[in-house]
Chains A and B, each alone.
Chain A
């Protein structure tokens, strides 16, 4: 195999492609737009990762006493969520309708007899309407639940100390009851302010970075980079078909170029374009979206190279198998979309069923995303992505061999 001849064909194709403004739109601009839009969408506002998102909770306070207002004050003091108050005699029904219609994510309804039942030491139920299509209610419900747990502890403490007094020392006088209740509530409040049992969360993997990356972009940048390298790489398959149809490949028959050299050149220029695109997106992600690409650039380079090689192999294979450019484009689009969805580029594989995860690992995208997770999130070095790199190289080899076998000049 003559490297010089391969280089000539590859360099020509790279030059032709990079001088095309439409190609540049898809290679560079579109991935950035997609990374930005999906990053903003999943970061909960597009702000820095250290800025907590505040969700709003719709509230219908139907309580005829004062305890409902105290509960809402406590929720506001927790400083986790904002309250959107509904007024009027039918506010409870309005709240439910707003959630059912999808206009609000969640609503809390405090019943009319809330204060009355608490005063009578009877149980009372708050209703939390949630729209199952949205994630916000998971956050707002937890915030309400924390306040309710504290409220229950306050209420039960007052009742417990009086009942305990009755059980072992007889019924307390009204004055004693007041004093006991005040004292135990002060104790419980102090306990909640500084609980003896705490929960510490330790995220394993990479040590905390000085500048926390935005979690939305931290996921969207690698996923969109892999997606657009795949999409553009496979779409390039149509160029090989066009060359066949326009007989420019057949002309090479009279040139001193072997079939394997033509396939190698086609693989090479797709590999060069894919690599340039990937590193442009990695650089842009790091500089503009503050994406932390891990501690090992060498490992990232190897993963990127193996993935781009697999995509290049598949692209030449599709080009070799397709009879016309439109068929190649359609097949490329079908394969790209399916591989993105199945490989975990659009949503994490961890939330899908086992069978789905198995299918996701029958294609290159599943392995590439695993490698990205190992590098970016878990902070692995090169040794931590060797299996993924080997599998991706296996795909590259398999596709390339198949492409050579399927290649025809016309």
Chain B
């Protein structure tokens, strides 16, 4: 009961503090909004602008390449001279330029060597890479068609030299046949992308930022253990009929309730502001939120218990939180990192918290689907709390 008074006092103090509210709500919501602005807005990614340098002769192949890319609204193709293209790409005004050589048509028809050049802006890793990839694909198709066409002439001519009339007839036949054959090739590759339509950028990043700022709030809350001592209020508490255990329990309870309020509010705001659907199992979402709150509270308490001063709690704790968030995927999609990096991430609380929320949002998982995450976070929390209590009970707070 006495512990509850301490918890209530701490909770009131934190909720009255505007800085705490900024950290609890404004920052996670603001960061999620910025991410949505960057990657999920209706305007989407800006267009990939590139230049096409093509000769007059054989220009229809260049037009075919441009036409192929123009079909996609992502691309914006303009014609230019090579000099203009080099200047614009070097200045970073365009991501890339494609230079079609004079003899491309001849190369396709006769097998004469030809080189298509792709000029890339070195500061553009993504857009320039997209242009390069598309052009390589186009040339690969063109080369395949050319090889088949020339192979037919070559093979038949070797078997029995082609006469003029056969040559002409073969050209006509080839044109029609190739057109139909490549429309429906023998083997096609159908890409099935999971969940593309439902991919909500806010939904991906909101849980990560919620966990990150939950940890910051908890750290500030756990730090009050040192602040009480540094400001002398701890002495007053000890003068009251309170055991050390009650004080520690009160501090932890107050922090936990604050964490639960923060994470549940962020979940509600995510739904209201960003249209995040937290799955169709509200019970599972609430349990995941409460377990995450417990994990964050216990981790912050452990950091504060291990630190000697409030300042040390702040600086070392913030460092630990930021590294864990980076490794655990709270700040960016860890799935894009190398496998070894992801394996390290699994040692962090952030990884399991984010994983649980992702399963709720993207897989519509129920409680059974997030059992692993809940178990691991509960186990982590138990270890953190035990070590924190041991450390705190051995020293003068």
Residues of A that sit less than 8 Å from B by CB: 22, 25-26, 29-30, 33-34, 37-38, 40-42, 44-46, 53, 96, 99-102, 105, 118, 121, 123-136, 138, 141-142, 144-146, 148-153, 155-157, 159-161, 163-165, 167-169, 176, 179-180, 183-184, 187-188, 191-192, 195-206, 215, 219, 326-327, 329-330, 333-334, 337-338, 341-342, 346-348, 350-357, 373-374, 377-379
Contact = CB atoms under 8 A, between A and B. Distances in A.
A347 B45 CA distance: 13
A159 B186 CA distance: 10
B372 to A, nearest CB: 12
A191 B189 contact: no
B117 A374 contact: no
Contact of A341 (B38, B92, B95, B146): B38
B311 interface: yes
16 contacts: A30-B322, A34-B322, A100-B195, A100-B363, A118-B186, A125-B190, A129-B192, A132-B195, A132-B196, A138-B133, A148-B187, A151-B187, A157-B152, A168-B170, A350-B95, A378-B121
A225 B334 CA distance: 22
A187 B122 contact: no
A343 B142 CA distance: 41
B156 A356 contact: no
B156 A165 contact: yes
Interface residues on B, range: 35 or more
What are the 6 A-B residue pairs with the smallest beta carbon separation, nearest first?
Answer: A191-B147, A377-B123, A205-B122, A153-B144, A373-B123, A353-B43
B306 to A, nearest CB: 15
Contacts of A133: 199, 204, 333, 335-336
Contacts of B34: 338, 341-342
A125 B191 CA distance: 10
A184 B185 contact: no
Given A130-B192, A338-B30, A118 B173 contact: no
A187 B155 CA distance: 8
Contact of B312 (A22, A132, A341): A22
A161 B135 CA distance: 28
B326 A37 contact: yes
B43 A128 contact: no
Contact of B31 (A127, A179, A204, A337): A337
A153 B107 CA distance: 17
A204 B120 contact: yes
B57 interface: no
B41 interface: yes
Given A197-B104, A338-B34, 9 more contacts: A37-B326, A161-B151, A184-B151, A184-B155, A200-B117, A201-B120, A352-B39, A374-B92, A377-B123
Contacts of A157: 147-148, 151-152
Contact of A123 (B140, B155, B188, B338): B188
Interface stretch (B108-116, B239-247, B271-279, B287-295): B108-116
A347 B38 contact: yes
Central interface residue in B127, B148, B151, B182, by most chain A CB within 10 Å? B151
A387 B28 CA distance: 34
* Chain B residues touching A, majority SS: helix
A206 B122 CA distance: 8
> Which of B41, B141, B191 has the most chain A CB atoms inside 10 A of its CB?
B191
A150 B199 CA distance: 34
Interface stretch (B18-26, B253-261, B297-305, B375-383): B18-26
Interface in B129-160: 132-133, 135-137, 139-152, 154-156, 158-160
B118 A201 contact: yes
Given A40-B341, A160-B148, A352-B39, A145 B189 contact: yes
B199 to A, nearest CB: 6
B337 to A, nearest CB: 4
B122 A184 contact: no
Contact of A152 (B160, B186, B190, B192): B186
Contacts of A204: 86, 89-90, 119-122
Nearest to B355: A102
B115 A37 contact: no
B181 interface: yes
Contacts of B92: 373-374, 378
A113 B31 CA distance: 50
B126 interface: yes
B67 interface: no
Nearest to A164: B152
B189 A128 contact: yes
